[in-house]
Amino acid sequence: MSKQYITDQNFKNIIFSDSEVEISDYENCTFIDCSFSNANLSDFSFEDCRFENCDFSNTKIRNTAFKNVHFNSCKLIGLQFDECNPFLLEFTFTTCLLNYSSFFKVKLKKTVFTKCSLHEVDFSQANLSEANFTECDFAGATFSQTNLRRADLRTSFNFNIYPEQNQISGAKFSMETLPGLLYKYKIKIG
C-alpha cells in the first residue's frame, strides 16, 4: 500500500483517533481543534505543519517524522518523542501540555518552548543546547546527562538540574531560578 501525500490542506474539528487513518505524508497543512488522542501515527510524516488546539494524548508516534512543526495550545500528554524519526526533527511548542512525555536522547538543539507545562518529562541524555524555555513549568522533570549548553531557562521554574550531572556551560539562569540548581545541596537562598 502506498502512502498518501497531502499538501496545503486545512483540517478542522476532525477526530483522527476514531477512524482507520491511512499512513500519510502531510506538508504545509494546518490542523485546528483536531483529536489524535490514542491514534497510531507511526510512520506518518508532518513537514511545515501547524497544530492549533489539538489533542495528541497517548498517541503512538513510532518513526513519525516532525519536520519544522509548530504546536500551539496542544495537549501532548504521554508522548514518546524518543521514538520519532530523528531525521530533520524540528519542533516549536507554545502553551502546550507535554506532561509525562519523553525526550530521552532526542536532539532538540535550538528548540523553542514557550509557556509549556513539562511535568514529569524525561529529558535524560537529550541535546537541549541553545533551547529557549520561556515561562515553562518543569515540576518533576528529569535532567540526567542532558546537554543544556547555552539554553535559556531564565523565566522557567520548578526544575531541579544538578550541575555535575548535566552540561550547563553558558546556560542562562536568573536569580529566581538559582534554587533549581542548588536544590540538591539543601541550601536556603534569600
**Per-residue pLDDT for the chain (190 aa), expressed as one digit of tens each?**
568 999 999 999 999 875 667 789 999 999 999 999 999 999 999 999 999 999 999 999 999 999 999 999 999 999 999 999 999 999 999 999 999 999 999 999 999 999 999 999 999 999 999 999 999 999 999 999 999 999 999 999 999 999 999 999 999 998 877 666 666 666 666 6
Helix (H, G, I), strand (E, B) or coil at 179: helix
Q: What is the DSSP letter of 128?
A: -
3-state secondary structure 96-137: CECCCCECCCCECCCCEEECCECCCCECCCCECCCCEEECCE
Q: What cell does 17 get?
A: 483517533
Query: CB atoms < 10 A from the CB of 24, how many?
Result: 15
CA 61 to chain centre: 13
How far apart (Å, rounded) are the C-alpha atoms in residues 86 and 70? 16
Distance, CA of 114 to CA of 156 (rounded, Å): 9
All three cell numbers of 93, joined, read 511548542
Domains of the chain with bracketed CATH: 1-92 (2.160.20.80), 98-190 (2.160.20.80)
Cα Rg of the chain (Å, integer):
17
